[in-house]
Chains A and B, each alone.
Chain A
Amino acid sequence: MPLPLADFLLQHRDAIMEAWEAEVRAIPAAQALSRPALHDGLPRLLEGVASRIRQRPQAGVASGPGAIPDLHALERLGEGFNLHQVVTEYRLLRGCVLRLWAARGGATPYPEEERVFHEAMDEAVAASVSRYTLARERTLQALDRISTAALGSDDVAGFLPRLLQVLRETVAAVDMAGVLLKDGDSLRVASVVGEGLKAGARVPEGEGFVGTIAATRQPLLVHEAGSDARVGEPVLREAGLRALYGVPLVLDSEVLGVALMGSRASSELSEADLLLFRAMAARATALLAQAQAHARERAARAEAEASLARLRESEAGLRRWEEVFTRLGVGVVVVSAEDNTLRDVNPAFARMHGYTPEELRGRPLEDTFAPEARGVLHRHVSAAHSKSSHEYESLHIRKDGSRFPAFSHVTSFRDASGRVVQRVATVLDITQRRAVETDRQRLLAAIEAERARLASVLDQMPAGVFIAEAPSGRLLMASRNVEAITGRPFAPSTLVEDFARAPYTVLHPDGRRYEPGELPLFRSLRQGEEVRSEELLIEREDGQRVTVLVSSAPIRDREGTIVAAVATMVDITERRRAQEAALQAARFGERLIAIVSHDLRNPLNAIQLSATQLLHSEALPERERRLVTRLARASDRMKRMISELLDFTRGRLGGGIPIQRVPGDLRAVVRQGVEELEAAWPERSLTLQVAPGRYEGEWDADRLLQVVSNLGGNALQYSPPDAPVTFHLSDVGEAVVLEVHNAGEPIAEDMLPRLFDPFRRGTTAGPGGGGLGLGLYIVEQVVKGHGGRIEVSSTAEAGTTFQVKLPRA
């Protein structure tokens, strides 16, 4: 049974397409297409043609080739085929069918079938050509408008709205058009016309409708955007769109973004509209890229200009630094971290080392270090490398071999990987500083030695010494004796007032407590007072009392400000105790003398009165009269002794012999005294010489009579019986002078200083009988009581002269 053409077409469709493909690949636009894209709707066209051939018996109502040629034309237009190439496709297809049909061998059973085949193919070519032409015309118009829209606007933001406006006006079904551009990991709505999307909204790449398009780089069409699962973006689902078409904007395999168009009314978009949209998108991509390139170029230019400006600035900065580097007084050196050579040195660094900068550049860093200091250099280098900066002092060497100490501050510079590439050090010659430091050390040592010496000297002193500083009022030091006296270890920095507090008490001699401000050291420190031998009692913890004499004085600086105060402390407990005992003994003795001499007077007075009364009796025989006379004279002597004793004790106990001065003439007193002496020593020669002058004054006549009597008595007693005794009175202005002179043995020289001491007596006793040795003592007391002075001169040649000078008042 012969094979009809319709069946042949159906059975050999794939072989036909294969043969066709082999030929059609020659068309340039077809070469890049995938097989499905290349084949497009053509296999179905063959099936449609076959179906038409079979329908031939019912001729007259033959159906056309359907929508396939239309769609194919639009595809090919979108794929860049020209009209000739589209027609060639059909020609080659027709040729392949006929060639294979003929090659099967055998007769054509139904020639009518071949006619219908040609008819169908012709119609398909006609439809494609017509569609292609129409579509191309519309597309060209649209593209032309797009190009016009893009003109004069090289920024994306400016031209996109116009592009979309053109699209919306060109495609009637489109209610919404938008472009999303890649922005980092997401896509941002760059521009939108119509309702449904908001400019600036973002959708993620890789998921949802837009994301899928961007990731797959394939257009995608959905018919119900509100319910289609592929539309994941809420903004799109809620935009009220039905048909939604998206096209990737791809340039040189890079996705720039996605273009969208949607319709509210229709769930379908025509192939022509889709094609047009794709074409517009392709065009928009190019324009976008161009705009972006423009923008990048502008940015690059701006960046370049900015860099240039920065470069200029940094060059100026560098010049400034260069100048600083050159002129700086501090040595600066740049050292290579690699080989520790001097990459650069500034003039100061070179000068410091006695080189020119040129001589030093390139030399090892080590050359600037004294050989004996090089050993530690590596340690400093590694220290500098381990941190950002390092400081050290070391000994450097000059070109002439001399050394100098230097202080270096090293900063390490690192590359991006953190490796130290170079070090910069500032270097200071610290000779001066070292010298000062050495001086200071020497001074400190000297001061310390001085202090130690002072401390040991102070420790050796019998007195305790302590020093406090102002204004703190703290004790600086105390000698060992202070500890010994106070019985308390010395703690430096104690406040002066605290040092005198518990555990012991400081008391005045009368037992009152010392207020802290009363302490001698405190007074010297605060008021600058100089305290001399102030007696105070220290009552120790155990109740033992120590009597001390404290002296203190302020220490002032050149301006007179008190900087410290020093106090000495002498323990006089023993001395005071001995003094006290001696005083007690003396008082007792004096009291004893006073009592005795007083009590002696009553019986003496009785003897004297009775003897005198007896002598008055005329009935007394001569022998008894002599006895009573002796009795009377002895009692008289005794009376005188007692009188002297009383004067002495009065002088000792009562602070001097009482003197009562009344106006009078001293001549009368002296005269009376001499007369009394003449009466008592009738065998001796006494002379009174009174020089012309005035002898009035205020005198205690009784006491001065005693002076004349005692001095005259002594002169008579201690001179040979034939030696005269002379009294000489003279007026010397404010005072009157009485001299009592006798020739004879001089007073022994060693006696002279003690002549006026009580209970001293001469070596020989005269006719007056031995006294108590109080005569001269009383004379001196009386003279002193008158504010006068007594002197004695005694030589073998000149004899002995007592000179009494008595002021008139």
Chain B
Amino acid sequence: MSIEPPAPSVGPGPVLLVEDDADLRAAVADILEDEGFEVHVAENGLEALAELDALGHLGRWPCVVLLDLMMPVMDGFTFMERFRADPGLSHVPVVVLSASVKEPPEGARAMLRKPFEIPALLDTVAGYCAQGRRPELL
């Protein structure tokens, strides 16, 4: 995990989608991409951290991280612990996607309860990543 100061943003950052369910991951990514967002995906917390690291090096911090909680390898809770431990990431908003918990883990900005519907998803992401939305769909 990087301890460097965040690199200056070089354009709007992508949506980082962390979800172990491949179908849901693909469906969400399709919908977001249809709406003009750039989407990076990760299958679990560990991959997400690596992706964050990589994006950070490029100076392209995600405009939002959509984080599933129940995942193999590294679940969303562990990811959040690591994420919060890195002050360099504090500016990156995290929205939790979950069916089971009542409250999002500490550090998350919002939560989308599964199963969510397209308008809710788009409204949430747009809230953080307005600049990435395709103008023709607005």
Partner-B contacts on A (CB < 8 A): 594, 597-598, 601-606, 608-610, 612-613, 616, 639, 642, 646, 658
Contacts and interface: CB of A to CB of B under 8 A. Distances in A.
Interface stretch (B26-34, B41-49, B78-86): B26-34
Contacts of A594: 100
16 contacts: A598-B70, A601-B99, A602-B19, A603-B24, A604-B115, A605-B114, A605-B116, A606-B24, A609-B27, A609-B31, A609-B117, A609-B118, A612-B118, A613-B27, A616-B118, A658-B102
Given A601-B114, A606-B23, A606-B24, 7 more contacts: A602-B24, A603-B21, A605-B27, A606-B21, A608-B117, A609-B27, A613-B30
A609 B33 CA distance: 13
Contacts of A597: 99
A598 B117 contact: no
Query: Closest 6 CB pairs between A and B?
Result: A602-B21, A605-B115, A606-B23, A606-B24, A601-B99, A609-B27
Interface of B: 19, 21, 23-24, 26-28, 30-31, 34, 70, 99-100, 102, 114-118, 121
Contacts, number: 52
A396 to B, nearest CB: 97
A610 B114 contact: no
A639 B115 contact: yes
A608 B23 CA distance: 11
Nearest to B118: A612
Nearest to A597: B99
Given A609-B31, A613-B31, A598 B115 contact: no
Among the interface residues A603, A604, A605, A608, which one has the most CB atoms of the partner chain B within 10 A? Answer: A605
Contacts of A601: 99, 114-115
Nearest to B97: A605
Contacts of B21: 602-603, 606
A613 B27 CA distance: 9
B31 A598 contact: no
Nearest to A603: B23
Nearest to B26: A606
A601 B118 CA distance: 15
Helix, strand, loop or mixed for chain A's interface?
helix
Contacts of B30: 610, 613
Contact of B114 (A602, A613, A616): A602
Contacts of A646: 99-100
A610 B121 CA distance: 13
A606 B115 CA distance: 9
Among the interface residues B21, B102, B115, B118, which one has the most CB atoms of the partner chain A within 10 A? Answer: B115
Contacts of A639: 115
Contacts of B70: 598
Contacts of B26: 606
Nearest to A660: B102
A173 to B, nearest CB: 154
Nearest to A650: B102
B113 to A, nearest CB: 9
A601 B112 CA distance: 13
Contacts of A658: 102
Among the interface residues B34, B70, B100, B116, which one has the most CB atoms of the partner chain A within 10 A? Answer: B100
Contacts of A642: 115
Contact of B23 (A598, A602, A612, A613): A602
Contact of A609 (B28, B99, B100, B102): B28
Contacts of B116: 605
A642 B118 CA distance: 19
A136 B127 CA distance: 183
A662 to B, nearest CB: 15
Contacts of A613: 27, 30-31, 34, 118
A596 to B, nearest CB: 11
Among the interface residues A594, A598, A639, A646, which one has the most CB atoms of the partner chain B within 10 A? Answer: A598
A610 B99 contact: no
A705 to B, nearest CB: 15
A616 B27 CA distance: 14
Nearest to A605: B115
B93 to A, nearest CB: 21
Nearest to A610: B27
A669 B21 CA distance: 35
Contacts of B118: 609, 612-613, 616
A659 B102 CA distance: 11
Nearest to B69: A598
A471 B73 CA distance: 67
Among the interface residues B19, B34, B118, which one has the most CB atoms of the partner chain A within 10 A? Answer: B118
A639 B28 CA distance: 17
Contacts of B115: 601, 604-605, 608, 639, 642
A763 B19 CA distance: 41
Contacts of B28: 609
A601 B115 CA distance: 6
Contacts of B121: 609
A601 B24 CA distance: 9
A598 B68 CA distance: 12
Contact of A606 (B27, B102, B117): B27
A590 to B, nearest CB: 13
B117 A612 contact: yes
B112 to A, nearest CB: 10
B98 to A, nearest CB: 9
Given A605-B24, A606-B21, A598 B102 contact: no
Contacts of B100: 594, 598, 646
A601 B30 CA distance: 18
A659 B57 CA distance: 44
Nearest to B112: A605
B28 to A, nearest CB: 7
A609 B121 CA distance: 10
Among the interface residues A610, A612, A639, which one has the most CB atoms of the partner chain B within 10 A? Answer: A610
Contacts of B114: 601-602, 605
Contacts of A610: 27, 30
